[in-house]
């Protein structure tokens, strides 16, 4: 079985629609960028300079990270992956300038999955340092201090549709097929490099 790292924002937790809702409620005069129209990974970059402070205001407010709805099928899929024998860790990067983001990510996992999942939360600004077989993430290019050991499955979002990705997950209902394909390819590479290597990490 494999170690599967799962990003939070816009992979299991709906950052984008929360941003639209909070902006609409708090600053109703600011025209929001619709989800389908998002073209950059960082939401704020899609807003004109004169409106960026409103986006900052909303994303740094207490309760923002806590308010995200789970993405369709995400919670079910995470539990299914664990039930299938995979070891799941959430691997998420925080908004470092937010006073609330870290704690609210923790609360979110506790509320939507339960206390026992808190040991599975890795909050890091460098995902390349985290070990695992698979990383499911919506950021097309992930760089850092190390060469990643994981294979990325790109979680589809409007801003990454143009990206070339070997493995893509467009909806959680399809996780099994995509994860299996990515793991199969890893196993093939490993067995060529070292025939003694076991297929996947043992728990
Ligand atoms: Mg993300």
Q: Go through the domains of the chain in sequence order and give each one's CATH number.
A: 3-13+69-193 (3.40.50.1000), 15-66 (1.10.40)
Parallel, antiparallel or unpaired: strands 121-123 and 151-155: unpaired
Position of tokens 């990974």? 41
Residues 106-163 have pLDDT tens digits of: 999 999 999 999 999 999 999 999 999 999 999 999 999 999 999 999 999 999 999 9
* Angle value at C-alpha 200, between 202 and 170, nearest 5 degrees: 120
Which two tokens mark 92? 């998420």
- Which of helix, strand or coil describes residue 67? helix
Q: Ligand 1 mean position to 138 CA, how many Å?
A: 5
Q: Ligand 1 mean position to 124 CA, how many Å?
A: 12
Q: pLDDT (tens digit, 0 to 9) for every residue of the chain, 203 residues total?
A: 899 999 999 999 999 999 999 999 999 999 999 999 999 999 999 999 999 999 999 999 999 999 999 999 999 999 999 999 999 999 999 999 999 999 999 999 999 999 999 999 999 999 999 999 999 999 999 999 999 999 999 999 999 999 999 999 999 999 999 999 999 998 887 666 655 544 454 44
- Which of helix, strand or coil describes residue 151? strand
Q: Which helix H or strand E contains 102, and what residues bound it?
A: helix 101-112
Report the candidate in 129, 3, 17 with the shortest Cα–Cα distance to residue 70.
17
Q: Ligand 1 mean position to 17 CA, how many Å?
A: 13
Q: Ligand 1 mean position to 134 CA, how many Å?
A: 15
State the Cα–Cα distance between residues 140 and 156, nearest whole angstrom: 9
How deeply is 148 buried, as exposed, middle or buried, from its count of CB atoms within 10 A (0-12, 13-18, 19+)?
middle
State the Cα–Cα distance between residues 201 and 134, nearest whole angstrom: 11
Catalytic residues: 7, 9
Q: Are 1 and 201 in contact (CB under 8 A)?
A: yes
Parallel, antiparallel or unpaired: strands 87-92 and 151-155: unpaired
What is each CA distance from 191 to 25, 179, 198, in whole angstroms?
A: 54, 18, 8
């Amino acid at each position: 079985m494999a170690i599967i790292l799962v990003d939070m924002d816009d992979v299991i937790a709906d950052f984008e629609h929360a941003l639209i809702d909070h902006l609409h409620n708090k600053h109703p005069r600011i025209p929001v960028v619709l989800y389908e129209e998002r073209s950059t990974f960082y939401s704020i970059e899609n807003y004109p300079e004169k409106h960026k402070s409103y986006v900052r205001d909303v994303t740094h407010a207490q309760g923002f990270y806590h308010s995200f709805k789970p993405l369709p099928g995400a919670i079910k899929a995470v539990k299914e992956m664990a039930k299938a024998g995979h070891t799941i860790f959430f691997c998420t990067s925080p908004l470092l300038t937010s006073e609330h983001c870290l704690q609210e990510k923790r609360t979110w996992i506790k509320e939507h999955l339960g206390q026992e999942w808190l040991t599975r939360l890795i909050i890091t600004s460098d995902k390349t340092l985290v070990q695992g077989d698979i990383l499911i993430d919506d950021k097309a290019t992930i760089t850092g201090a190390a060469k990643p050991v994981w294979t990325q499955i790109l979680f589809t979002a409007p801003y990454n549709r143009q990206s070339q990705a070997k493995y893509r997950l467009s909806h959680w209902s399809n996780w099994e097929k995509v994860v299996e394909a990515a793991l199969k390819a890893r196993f093939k590479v490993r067995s060529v490099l070292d025939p003694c290597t076991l297929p996947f990490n043992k728990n």
